[in-house]
A and B are shown apart, each in its own frame.
Chain A
Amino acid sequence: MSLLEIRDLTMQFGGLTAVDRFNLTLNEGDIVGLIGPNGAGKTTVFNCLTGMYAPTGGEILLSGHRIDGLHPYEITRLGMARTFQNIRLFKQLTVYDNIRIAFHNQSKYNLATAVFRLPQFAKEEREILEKTEELLEIFGLYEHRNEIASSLPYGEQRQLEIARALATNPQILLLDEPAAGMNPQETEELTSLIRWVKERFDLTIFLIEHDMRLVMRLCERLVVLDYGITIAEGTPEEIQNNPQVIEAYLGEEAL
């Protein structure tokens, strides 16, 4: 059974069809890229997958269960995590707290346990702290742990956002333009980081990206959206040579 199955996903805003009958199947361990010109509906697909929008048509199945129409927090708990194109950290909270918040669904202790500091509370808080520190170590953010998130340099904010997404314990990680605003060297590092994280956390990755070097090197499969319609799907090589894709990106004259 495939991990994520998207069937005829459609999202309309009034008269505008942002995504039109989008289909995709992700198997465990896949790393698939979603590309397309600006305004093609890529982020809308992500918003539908994570429950921020309720799709107006189609079905989304995670491990065989319908998830379209569920609340975002329910979908997160079922194993879907994402990052944002424009970083959305809890800006005024510390790096520590940003990660710890994401462990929310994994803590079971109740208020009384916390107020009276019963052993279960201490144990769970210790586990959360350990897992948080492990993530911070992996992403090289440990030394910044007590800093306010918005005070971090840009690249580290991106890393913190990925670390935070991982803390929700996902099966599928959605990355929305992870390399946006990065220089070639940072993009290079990010590429290896994504690959490493995928192995380390057993992830399936679905990413939106404009940086073609990253996409071509990282993804096994690409889907191309244009005006909400899937115009091509295939390996990076196939996509690179697909006339429809070239047209969408460069306009008709380029052919």
Chain B
Amino acid sequence: MQEVVQQLVNGISLGSIYGLIALGYTMVYGIIRLINFAHGDIYMIGAFVGYFAIRTFHLSFLPALLAAMAVSAVLGMVIERLAYRPLRNSTRIAALITAIGVSFLIQNTALLAWTPDPRSYPDVFPLRTYEIGGVYVDNRQIAILGVALVLMVVLHYIVNYTQIGRAMRAVSQDADTARLMGIDVDRVISFTFALGSALAAAAGVLVGIYYNRIDPTMGTMPGLKAFVAAVLGGIGVIPGAMLGGLVMGIAEVAVVALTESTWKDAVAFAILIVILLVRPAGLLGRQVREKV
């Protein structure tokens, strides 16, 4: 029993990271129907910005987190402006392939600039472990959960209760009509990229602190898994991304606990295959029959 709770705690920590990344995928998809495959690399950049903020500029945890979020938000907007906006009216496959290209560009630039060698993340949190009824929780896990929770609440609030959030929902439903309501659609799309990128950056910093190790290719696998999480929850559905992330995190930890850790990446894609077969719209997505 203790073991189960313990794995659940670990799974939720990992899952909230996936959830934070998945939110960016799902928001961008919701608004321009594009899977932004460069998203995982923005997460990596976020981790590195946090690293330098702490190591070089000696910032503490929160300022470093905010710096990483801000830099990545700008990066997300720049990518959208330069790579995706010119393709707004072209085929979806063109934009998708461009996204993969942007991903390679960022990753290889990072490899060039920062070498492929992993770096150990600076120690902002001296590790403290607490035992609660036989279950071990450490302060890093609490930080991950706390930050993820706060960010998700803030995001939910922005999307549902502010004018820019309403504009986002309007654009995602009908961009042309939104324009006629006085909404600058390009600005809203830009804002969506900024928001999603900032969340990914936060996840990057949290992962750096939790696993204590970052490198320029770290974004690939979590990026793919978060994409699966977004599809699992229902792509375009914001609460779905959070749910999908949690399910993925718990599933991965459970598989590692029950079998061998070599299965941990396979489980993500097994989930993707199953969900596409059984419920392609995702757990919280609306089931719509494709018009033929």
Chain B residues with CB under 8 Å of A101's CB are 163, 166-167, 169-170, 178, 181, 183
Within the complex, what minimum Cβ distance (angstroms) separates A115 from chain B?
A: 6
The CA-CA distance from A52 to B185 in the complex, in Å, is 13
Assess whether A73 is interfacial by the CB under 8 Å rule: yes
Give A contacts to B, CB under 8 Å.
50-52, 71-73, 76-77, 81-82, 84, 88-93, 97, 100-105, 107, 109, 111, 114-115, 121, 125, 128, 164, 168
Sample of 15 A–B contacts (CB below 8 Å): A71-B184, A72-B180, A73-B179, A73-B184, A73-B185, A76-B179, A90-B174, A93-B166, A97-B169, A100-B166, A101-B163, A102-B181, A104-B167, A111-B162, A164-B181
From B162, B176, B180, B182, give the contact of A114 (CB < 8 A). Answer: B162
Within the complex, what minimum Cβ distance (angstroms) separates B71 from chain A?
A: 17
Assess whether B125 is interfacial by the CB under 8 Å rule: no
The CA-CA distance from A164 to B178 in the complex, in Å, is 11
Within the complex, what minimum Cβ distance (angstroms) separates B152 from chain A?
A: 13
Q: Are A115's CB and B157's CB within 8 A?
A: yes
Q: Are B163's CB and A104's CB within 8 A?
A: yes
Assess whether B276 is interfacial by the CB under 8 Å rule: no
Chain B residues with CB under 8 Å of A97's CB are 166, 169
Within the complex, what minimum Cβ distance (angstroms) separates A113 from chain B?
A: 9
> B176's closest neighbor in chain A, by CB?
A52
Q: Are B179's CB and A72's CB within 8 A?
A: yes
Within the complex, what minimum Cβ distance (angstroms) separates A133 from chain B?
A: 16
The CA-CA distance from A89 to B178 in the complex, in Å, is 10
Interface residue tally of chain B, by bracket? 20 to 34
Chain A residues with CB under 8 Å of B161's CB are 114, 125
Taking A93-B166, A101-B169, A114-B163 as known contacts, 17 extra A-B pairs with beta carbons closer than 8 A to each other, sorted by chain A number, are A52-B176, A52-B179, A72-B180, A73-B182, A73-B183, A76-B179, A76-B181, A76-B182, A91-B173, A93-B170, A101-B163, A102-B181, A111-B164, A114-B158, A115-B154, A128-B163, A164-B181
Within the complex, what minimum Cβ distance (angstroms) separates A148 from chain B?
A: 11
The CA-CA distance from A128 to B166 in the complex, in Å, is 13
Chain B residues with CB under 8 Å of A164's CB are 181
Within the complex, what minimum Cβ distance (angstroms) separates B284 from chain A?
A: 14
Chain B residues with CB under 8 Å of A90's CB are 169-170, 173-174, 177-178
**Provided the pairs A52-B176, A114-B158, A115-B157 are in contact, do residues A77 and B163 lie with their beta carbons within 8 angstroms?**
no
From A52, A102, A115, give the contact of B158 (CB < 8 A). Answer: A115
The CA-CA distance from A15 to B201 in the complex, in Å, is 51
Within the complex, what minimum Cβ distance (angstroms) separates A30 from chain B?
A: 21
Q: Are A105's CB and B182's CB within 8 A?
A: yes
Within the complex, what minimum Cβ distance (angstroms) separates B44 from chain A?
A: 25
**Provided the pairs A90-B173, A114-B158, A115-B157 are in contact, do residues A76 and B180 lie with their beta carbons within 8 angstroms?**
yes
Q: Are B183's CB and A93's CB within 8 A?
A: no
Taking CB atoms and an 8 Å cut-off, the chain B residues in 130-182 that contact chain A are 154, 157-158, 161-164, 166-167, 169-170, 173-174, 176-182
Within the complex, what minimum Cβ distance (angstroms) separates A72 from chain B?
A: 4
The CA-CA distance from A73 to B161 in the complex, in Å, is 22
The CA-CA distance from A115 to B154 in the complex, in Å, is 7
The CA-CA distance from A93 to B164 in the complex, in Å, is 15
> B188's closest neighbor in chain A, by CB?
A104
Within the complex, what minimum Cβ distance (angstroms) separates B232 from chain A?
A: 21
Q: Are A77's CB and B174's CB within 8 A?
A: no
> A90's closest neighbor in chain B, by CB?
B173
Q: Are A104's CB and B158's CB within 8 A?
A: no
Chain B residues with CB under 8 Å of A71's CB are 179, 184
Chain B residues with CB under 8 Å of A103's CB are 163
> B184's closest neighbor in chain A, by CB?
A73
> A167's closest neighbor in chain B, by CB?
B181
